Amino acid sequence: MKKKSRKPQYKRSRAKVEAPAEDEPAAIKNAPHTFVIRRGDRSASIARLSRDFRRMMEPFTASHLRERRINKVKDFVHLSGFFHVSHMCVFSLSSQTLSLKIIRMPKGPTLTFKLHQYTLAKDVISNARKQFVDDECFKTAPLVILNSFSGEGKHLKLMASTFQNMFPPINLSKIKLSALKRCVLLSYNPVSKLIDLRHYSITVVPVNLNRGVKKLVTRNIPNLGRFEDIADFVEKGHLLSESEADDEEAHVVLAQNLKCGNLAENQSSLRLHEIGPRITMRLMKIEDELMTGEVLYHDYIEKDAIEVEAIRKKRAQQRRLKEQRKHKQEENLKKKEKDKEDHRAKTSKQTKSGEITEQDKKLLKDAEDAVGDISDEDDREYYRTEIGDNPDEELFESAGGGNRKRPFIPKGSNYSLKPKKPRLDKRKQYEEDDRLARKDSKRRNNEGKDMKGKGKFGRKGMKDDIRGKAKYNSGGKKPKGGSKKTAGKKSSKRK
């Protein structure tokens, strides 16, 4: 059996195939789209609540939007125009409160709500007596129902218009009743100032039919094992049990035919099944711009006209300063780009024939003046004549200076800054040094012969001088004995 190789196998990179660009219909483009994100502290229940809110806003929302901590609100604002996003809902959790901000893209206003209570969709469905979930109902937008938003106050009108504009409008002349499968109920309590949000799915059941026939029409096939004939099932249908009783107030006359036995101009019963989530919230404030504008309404803070005017002037001044800084930065960027282009044109501009421009000639002349003739042979000769010995290589090694800053040479010019005098071969340099060293030693020997026998400074005088120094320094033999005696006398005298 062949062993598997341990060499790692890398996946081959496949060529990316771009999807064909298909133009969306005008109805989908013009429909309001939403972003639902969360900010602040992390919590599993808040993450689940945001997902339930996205499911409620389907199909015109980003259901699988992934937000991270490094993402900011400005990032989503920049993407809003590309994805036709009209509103953004932000769940923000802090150590004190949980808030919901509904923002009209891209320039506001911003409505901030404080969440008092909320219940997740899974808890609502699990606590229902008769659970009903239909995934087909999330393919169409829900119907918005507003209750008690007609009171006094501009903030109520702004809330009502904001909630209505978050969902696509309904055209009564073209709407199909089969598309209305969900509804969102928003009820305002003027006493407590609380807003209750509920989410329901809608089912339609025919009325004034035998229960047995109704079960057959609605495709809920019962157990027919105890009946001998289908006629017995239809006649004894009143003996069958039904969990819900029909409410006469929920009876309506349909204008269009629906499936499951619901015919036009016949009565049918509307039934609502709550599918969650539940939210109870209260309006705290309304800001003019995107989360940082002027406060148009506040629930418990009131300011007089003087304070409002002072804040308005301060904001206007800050806006002017910001515009000035932005204008100045743009001018500086333009100036830098222009300087770069001019420098690039000066350094890289050449004629087609290869001739150097006047600017390049000037630069070359400056380079020649800066470099000059670099030679240290004169200094070496001067050292030999004055000192009488060859200089060390380290003395004049850095005379040519690698630390000298090289002048600028234009690109494309056939010019080099090499010294005019060519370098000597190292072997020739060593032979020249040996010849000069032998010449110096020969000269010293000749000078010593001339000084021989000339008084004190001759060879004999030098030897006598050395001997005298040795005697003076007790370099000769020590006298036998007497040294201890003299040492004893000196010590007795000291005593």
- pLDDT 10s digits, 233-272: 556 554 444 444 455 666 777 777 777 666 677 777 788 8
For residues 327 and 243, which has the higher predicted lDDT (pLDDT)? 327
Taking the C-alpha atoms of residue 230 and residue 235, their distance in angstroms, rounded to an integer, is 9
pLDDT for the residue 492: 46
Region 273-288: mean pLDDT is: 92
Region 139-146: mean pLDDT is: 92
User: Given a cut of 90, is residue 89 above it in pLDDT?
Assistant: yes
Q: Which two tokens stand for residue 122?
A: 């899974």
Identify the DSSP state of 420. S
For residues 238 and 317, which has the higher predicted lDDT (pLDDT)? 317
Region 142-164: mean pLDDT is: 91
| Residue 471: band (very low, low, confident or very high) from pLDDT cuts 50, 70, 90 | very low
Region 204-219: mean pLDDT is: 64
Q: Which two tokens stand for residue 348?
A: 């890289």
**Residue written as tokens 């993407």?**
79
The most confident of the ranges 59-68, 204-213, 241-250, 463-472 is: 59-68
Taking the C-alpha atoms of residue 180 and residue 258, their distance in angstroms, rounded to an integer, is 11
| Residue 199: band (very low, low, confident or very high) from pLDDT cuts 50, 70, 90 | very high
Q: Which two tokens stand for residue 469?
A: 């120094």
pLDDT for the residue 143: 92
What beta strand segments (E) does 416-464 contain?
none
Q: What is the mean pLDDT of the chain?
A: 76
Taking the C-alpha atoms of residue 272 and residue 355, their distance in angstroms, rounded to an integer, is 89
Contact 276, 121 (CB under 8 A): yes
Q: Which two tokens stand for residue 48?
A: 């689940």
User: Given a cut of 90, is residue 150 above it in pLDDT?
Assistant: no
User: Given a cut of 70, is residue 301 above it in pLDDT?
Assistant: yes
| Residue 273: band (very low, low, confident or very high) from pLDDT cuts 50, 70, 90 | confident
Q: Where are the alpha helices (DSSP H) in 103-179?
A: 121-126, 154-165
| C-alpha distances in Å from residue 350, one per residue of 310, 345, 346, 411 | 62, 9, 9, 9
For residues 494 and 127, which has the higher predicted lDDT (pLDDT)? 127
Least confident of 103-107, 206-210, 277-281: 206-210
User: Given a cut of 80, is residue 281 above it in pLDDT?
Assistant: yes
User: Given a cut of 80, is residue 309 above it in pLDDT?
Assistant: yes
pLDDT for the residue 233: 58
Region 12-30: mean pLDDT is: 64
User: Given a cut of 90, is residue 331 above it in pLDDT?
Assistant: yes
Encode pLDDT of 480-489 as tens digits: 554 444 444 4
| Residue 293: band (very low, low, confident or very high) from pLDDT cuts 50, 70, 90 | confident
Question: How distant is the alpha carbon of residue 5 from its chain centre?
Answer: 41
Q: Which of 371, 363, 336, 333 is nearest to 347 (CA)?
A: 363
pLDDT for the residue 229: 63
Taking the C-alpha atoms of residue 141 and residue 135, their distance in angstroms, rounded to an integer, is 13
pLDDT for the residue 483: 47
User: Given a cut of 70, is residue 222 above it in pLDDT?
Assistant: no
Q: Which of 256, 252, 255 is nearest to 268 (CA)?
A: 252
pLDDT for the residue 409: 61
Contact 169, 152 (CB under 8 A): no
Coil, strand or helix at 271: strand
Torsion of CA 335, 338, 343, 349, to 10 degrees: -170
CA quadruple 320, 301, 39, 83: dihedral sign: negative
Could you give the maximum distance between any two Cα atoms of the chain, in Å?
A: 165
| C-alpha distances in Å from residue 442, one per residue of 92, 381, 387, 451, 459 | 100, 19, 16, 15, 18
pLDDT for the residue 344: 80
DSSP calls for 213-264: HHHHHTT-----TT-SSHHHHHHTGGGS--SSPPPGGGEEE-SS--STT--T
Per cent of the chain over pLDDT 70 is 65
Coil, strand or helix at 54: helix
Q: Where are the alpha helices (DSSP H) in 349-425?
A: 358-371, 377-387
The most confident of the ranges 131-145, 425-439, 448-462 is: 131-145
Encode pLDDT of 115-132 as tens digits: 999 999 999 999 888 787
Q: Which two tokens stand for residue 236?
A: 């004894």
pLDDT for the residue 243: 44
| Residue 378: band (very low, low, confident or very high) from pLDDT cuts 50, 70, 90 | low
Asked if the peptide bond before residue 109 counts as cis, ω within 30 degrees of 0, the response is yes
| Residue 61: band (very low, low, confident or very high) from pLDDT cuts 50, 70, 90 | very high
pLDDT for the residue 414: 56
List, as own/partner pairs, every contact residues 456-459 make where C-beta atoms lie below 8 angstroms and the sequence separation is at least 24, other chains included.
none
pLDDT for the residue 211: 61
| Residue 217: band (very low, low, confident or very high) from pLDDT cuts 50, 70, 90 | low
Residues near 303 by beta carbon (within 8 Å), at least 6 away in sequence: 311
pLDDT for the residue 411: 60
